[in-house]
């Protein structure tokens, strides 16, 4: 690989813009200050954050740097390279911690075409503004006439103002009003939502970023790019017609009758250069606003607004693979267009054997209601996970347990009623009254303000497993997982049916993160791995689970740095796919081991920020991650704190982190080329003493 600071002429465009909203100034930083040592995307953003911030940063401080960072594959035509990292101190994490997001759409590619590998936005404008980036020029524009607009309206107005080739990343009223769960929205209804970065934009009085670019991005090898376009994700060449259906059947468990031809659906890609069409696209859907009908994009979560009588089930082939069948992915339950399975595979039956979701009976099928709720979230710019998976389910379970008897929200609490949801989200997004202000702080904080013992931890007794039919699964009314986020393939509550080998690994990944990590680190491994880890107690003693989590986190770093998407990576039977992507884009030839080390560097620097700013250590993160494991999975299995601790020991060993503190050892910092960080940690008293980890 090239020496540090020697930026290849391919893939990167060479500049990062430092944009200060306070004095409306722009500074240009050479990308070579960071890359290729920090490959791109999140890795560069992490390095910038480490360099320019100090402990004590709050999410809404003007100095909080909000960064949009592309990777070397972005805009080269390499599939899924259009995705872009978004990083900053995050308001929707509990506690606030440095965090990452990942957004599709076209802003990342346009940014490269405009001549920038990324932008860093600091400061706070006196009045609402938007930034326009146009072929190397960055200008500031009055956004008072846009303030208050819904996200689609804002994007369309900006397009009308700046031309059809202008794309934008915008916030809606939720971001303007500093709702902690506010999203940044961009083309194709892609969002950076979970961390609440929409509120960071709002705190800076920044309504939108408009990008236009007519420049070129040159990949190292056109032939390699074209080859990847035909091999990554094994894409099918198949027509994509609009279907007119009388059944809403987006998942096995979302399946109800509608009016004849009412459901108009097909699939779309999420970002520039994607070679898949994972996203479900519904046309002429009922809108929550005067537009009457709208087209909507759904990933995995939006469809649960249509119906939640049963939890999201899974089949092993989504996550666990054999040599003959390794192309199914999470979204292949309905949205994606997966290739047909290889029927000569002797393990096909095992791969396709469904582990059904639990019976929930939260709300029945209603196509219009589902579309209205999704439209509300999209147009207000608010995180669908916080609303659909957490707020709505909490309201149902809270009401059924009597916990909410004393709460008057101005209407009968009924998330199955679209009028109630309109009323409730209007209160939240515009921070109307006590309840609006409370829930605008995000679910984690709202429940703590109300009193977590009663409003979070009360046990709901209405969930029935279908993996062990009839087994009652008693879990809290609040689907809280860790760091202020909700369940996402954690083996409990929503998406609760993955086996232990999945959810234990996912829990380890969540532990060292600052948000729901599953967005870009769905667990993948071999079918043998799954079969070996079906017993939760034994799985806690199995080093392969820790190794899987390590791989998952490394691959997540790759996806965020190079960049790539979670539907394409990891490919268990194509371990050097990302190396090929990097080489095709930049000419940098790295072995799998070298790329792993580059990603370890990025992850460890992320950890350094958490140690420096947030007091991150084992005593903080292990109990935070463990919490869901005390409740039964879909087979009634639980894990004790001691069992989980054994898994954490193995996991820390793999990373080269001290078992007692969870801090990287000096050797680890040096191995990652972060000697300066080791010195800093020593000054902070956070370099663990020299002791040999127990094996």
Partner 1 sequence: MNEKKQGIKERPAEELGRHIIQWDPDISLCAGCGACEIVCSLIHEGVSGSRSRRIFFEHDSVQLMHKVYTCQQCLDHPCYNACPLKDKAMVIDPETNIVYVEEKECIGCARCVKACPFEPKRIQINRNKKAIKCDLCRGRENGPACIEYCQCLAIGMSDDSPPVPGVVVKV
Binding mask 98-117 for partner 1 (x = CB under 8 A): -------xx------x----
What is the C-alpha separation between 44 and 21, in angstroms, rounded? 21
Burial class (CB in 10 A: 0-12, 13-18, 19+), 265: buried
Q: Give 274 or 360: the residue with its C-beta nearer to partner 1.
A: 274
Among 1, 16, 17, 75, binds partner 1 (CB under 8 A): 75
The nearest distance, CB 660 to partner 1, in angstroms, is 49
Torsion of CA 350, 356, 357, 362, to 10 degrees: 160
**Can you tell me the distance from the alpha carbon of 454 to that of 397, in angstroms, rounded to the nearest whole number?**
12
CB of 189 to partner 1, least distance (A): 8
In the complex, minimum distance from the CB of residue 173 to partner 1, in angstroms, rounded to a whole number: 17
Give the nearest distance from C-beta 298 to partner 1 in angstroms: 12
- Please choose, out of 212-220, 429-437, 445-453, 551-559, the segment that lies near partner 1 by the rule CB under 8 A: 212-220
Contact predicate 313/356, CB 8 Å: yes
The whole-angstrom separation of Cα 157 and Cα 178 is 22
How near is the Cβ of 551 to partner 1 at its closest, in Å? 28
For 598-654, the three-class secondary structure string (H helix, E strand, C coil) is HHHHHHHHHHHHHHHHHCCCHHHHHHHHHHHHHCCCCCCCCCCHHHHHHHHHHHHHH
At residue 224, the 3 state secondary structure works out as helix
300 binds partner 1 (CB under 8 A): no
Q: Which of 237, 259, 292, 694 touches partner 1 by CB under 8 A?
A: 237
Q: How far is the CB of 662 from partner 1 (least distance, A)?
A: 41
C-alpha torsion 89→121→578→655, nearest 10: -30
Among 340, 341, 353, 273, residue whose Cα is nearest residue 314: 353
Q: Which x/- pattern over 142-181 shows residues binding partner 1 (rule: CB under 8 A)? A: ----------x--xx--x----xx-xx-------------
> How near is the Cβ of 283 to partner 1 at its closest, in Å?
8
- Count residues contacting partner 1 (CB under 8 A)? 52
Residue 381 interacting with partner 1 (CB under 8 A): no
Please select the residue that binds partner 1; options are 214, 449, 472, 591, rule is CB under 8 A: 214
| Binding residue (CB under 8 A) for partner 1 from 15, 124, 141, 229 | 229
CB of 600 to partner 1, least distance (A): 30
- β-pairing verdict for 25-30 and 206-212: unpaired
- Cβ neighbours around 12 below 10 Å, total: 26
CA 134, distance to chain mean position in Å, is 28
Among 28, 245, 252, 268, binds partner 1 (CB under 8 A): 268
By CB under 8 A, residue 275 contacts partner 1: yes
Least gap, CB of 212 to partner 1 (angstroms): 10
Q: Which stretch binds partner 1 (CB under 8 A): 175-183, 218-226, 546-554, 602-610?
A: 218-226
* CA 401/CA 519 separation, integer angstroms: 31
Q: Quick one: which of 56, 241, 290, 689 contacts partner 1 (CB under 8 A)?
A: 241
Q: Which of 64, 92, 187, 465 binds partner 1 (CB under 8 A)?
A: 187
295 forms part of the interface with partner 1 (CB under 8 A): yes
Residues 494-513 that bind partner 1 (CB under 8 A): none
Q: Which stretch binds partner 1 (CB under 8 A): 83-91, 219-227, 644-652, 678-686?
A: 219-227
How many residues in the chain?
695
431 binds partner 1 (CB under 8 A): no
Give dist(CA 101, CA 576) in Å, integer.
24
- Interface stretch with partner 1, choices 184-192, 306-314, 464-472, 477-485 (CB under 8 A): 184-192
Nearest Cα to Cα of residue 333 among 498, 194, 470, 479:
498
| CA–CA distance, 594 with 580 (Å, rounded to integer) | 13
- Which 3-state string (H, E, C) describes 505-545? HHHHHHHCCCCCCCCCCCCCEEHHHHHHCCCHHHHCCCHHH
Burial of residue 126, with CB atoms counted within 10 A of its CB: 0-12 exposed, 13-18 middle, 19 or more buried: exposed
Q: Which is nearer to partner 1, 218 or 543 (CB)?
A: 218
Q: Does 85 bind partner 1 (CB under 8 A)?
A: no
4, 33, 258, 266: which one contacts partner 1 (CB under 8 A)? 266
Whether the Cβ atoms of residue 51 and residue 43 lie closer than 8 Å to each other: no
Cβ 384 to partner 1, closest distance in Å?
17
**Least separation in angstroms between CB 226 and partner 1:** 7
Distance, first Cα to last Cα, the chain: 34
Minimum CB distance to partner 1 smaller for 225 or for 551: 225
DSSP 285: E
User: What is the smallest separation between the CB atom of 624 and partner 1, expressed in angstroms?
Assistant: 38
Alpha carbon 316 to chain centroid, angstroms: 22
- Residue 297 binds partner 1, judged by CB under 8 A: yes
Segment contacting partner 1 by CB under 8 A, of 139-147, 264-272, 390-398, 447-455:
264-272
Site membership for partner 1, residue 226 (CB under 8 A): yes
Among 47, 207, 253, 272, binds partner 1 (CB under 8 A): 272
695 burial via Cβ count (<10 Å: 0-12, 13-18, 19+): exposed
CB of 134 vs partner 1, minimal distance in Å: 13
Three-state DSSP at 112 gives helix
Q: Which residues bind partner 1 (CB under 8 A)?
A: 75-77, 105-106, 113, 152, 155-156, 159, 164-165, 167-168, 186-188, 213-219, 222, 225-226, 229-230, 235-242, 266-269, 271-277, 281, 294-295, 297
């Amino acid at each position: 690989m090239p020496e540090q600071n020697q930026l290849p002429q391919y893939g990167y465009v060479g500049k990062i813009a430092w944009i200060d909203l306070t004095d409306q100034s722009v500074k240009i930083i050479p990308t070579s200050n960071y890359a290729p040592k920090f490959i791109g995307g999140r890795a560069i953003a992490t390095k910038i954050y480490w360099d320019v911030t100090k402990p004590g940063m709050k999410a809404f401080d003007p100095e909080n740097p909000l960064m949009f960072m592309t990777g070397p594959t972005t805009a080269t035509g390499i599939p899924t390279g259009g995705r872009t990292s978004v990083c900053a101190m995050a308001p929707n994490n509990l506690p606030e911690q440095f965090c990452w997001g990942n957004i599709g759409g076209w802003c990342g590619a346009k940014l490269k075409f405009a001549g920038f590998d990324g932008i860093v936005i600091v400061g706070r404008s006196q009045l609402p503004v938007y930034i326009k980036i146009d072929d190397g020029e960055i200008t500031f524009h009055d956004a008072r006439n846009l303030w208050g607009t819904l996200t689609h309206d804002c994007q369309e107005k900006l397009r009308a103002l700046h031309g059809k080739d202008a794309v934008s990343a915008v916030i809606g009223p939720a971001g303007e009003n500093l709702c902690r769960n506010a999203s940044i929205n961009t083309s194709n209804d892609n969002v950076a939502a979970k961390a609440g970065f929409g509120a960071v934009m709002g705190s800076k009085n920044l309504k939108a970023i408009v990008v236009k670019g007519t420049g070129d991005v040159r990949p190292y090898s056109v032939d390699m790019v074209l080859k990847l376009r035909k091999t990554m994700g094994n894409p099918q060449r198949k027509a994509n017609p609009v279907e007119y259906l009388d059944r809403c059947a987006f998942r096995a468990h979302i399946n109800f009758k509608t009016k004849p031809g009412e459901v108009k659906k097909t699939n779309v890609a999420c970002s520039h250069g994607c070679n898949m069409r994972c996203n479900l696209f519904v046309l002429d859907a009922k809108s929550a606003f005067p537009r009457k009908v709208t087209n909507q994009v759904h990933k995995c979560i939006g469809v649960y607004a249509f119906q939640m009588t049963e939890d999201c089930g899974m089949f092993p082939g989504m996550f666990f693979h054999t040599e003959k069948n390794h192309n199914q992915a999470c979204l292949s339950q309905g949205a994606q267009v997966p290739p047909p399975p290889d029927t000569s595979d002797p393990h096909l039956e095992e791969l396709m054997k469904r582990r059904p979701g639990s019976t929930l009976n939260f709300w029945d099928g209603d196509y219009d209601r589902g579309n209205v709720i999704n439209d509300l979230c999209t147009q207000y710019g608010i995180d669908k996970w916080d609303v659909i998976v957490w707020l709505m389910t909490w309201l149902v379970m809270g009401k059924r347990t009597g916990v909410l008897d004393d709460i008057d929200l101005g209407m009968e609490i009924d998330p199955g009623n679209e009028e109630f949801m309109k009323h409730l989200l209007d209160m939240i997004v515009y921070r109307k009254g006590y309840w609006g202000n409370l829930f605008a702080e995000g679910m984690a904080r709202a429940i703590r303000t109300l009193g977590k013992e009663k409003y979070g931890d009360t046990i709901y007794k209405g969930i029935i497993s279908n993996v062990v039919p009839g087994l009652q699964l008693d879990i809290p009314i609040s689907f809280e997982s860790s760091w202020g986020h909700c369940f996402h393939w954690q083996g409990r509550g929503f998406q609760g049916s993955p086996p232990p080998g999945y959810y234990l690994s996912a829990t380890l990944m969540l532990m060292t993160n600052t948000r729901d990590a599953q967005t870009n680190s769905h667990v993948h491994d071999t079918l043998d791995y799954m079969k070996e880890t079906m017993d939760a107690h034994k799985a806690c003693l199995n080093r392969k689970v820790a190794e899987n989590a390590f791989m998952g986190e490394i691959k997540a770093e790759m996806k965020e740095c190079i960049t790539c998407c979670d539907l394409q990576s990891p490919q268990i039977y194509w371990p050097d796919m990302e190396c090929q992507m990097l080489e095709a884009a930049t000419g940098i030839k790295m072995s799998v081991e070298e790329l792993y080390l580059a990603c370890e560097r990025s992850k460890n620097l992320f950890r350094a920020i958490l140690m420096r700013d947030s007091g991150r250590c084992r005593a903080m993160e292990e109990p935070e991650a463990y919490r869901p494991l005390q409740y039964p999975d879909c087979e009634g299995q639980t894990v004790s704190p001691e069992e989980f601790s054994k898994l954490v020991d193995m996991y820390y060993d793999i990373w080269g982190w001290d078992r007692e503190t969870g801090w990287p050892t000096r050797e680890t910092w040096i191995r990652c080329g972060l000697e300066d960080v080791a010195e800093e940690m020593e000054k902070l008293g956070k370099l663990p003493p020299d002791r040999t980890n127990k094996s």
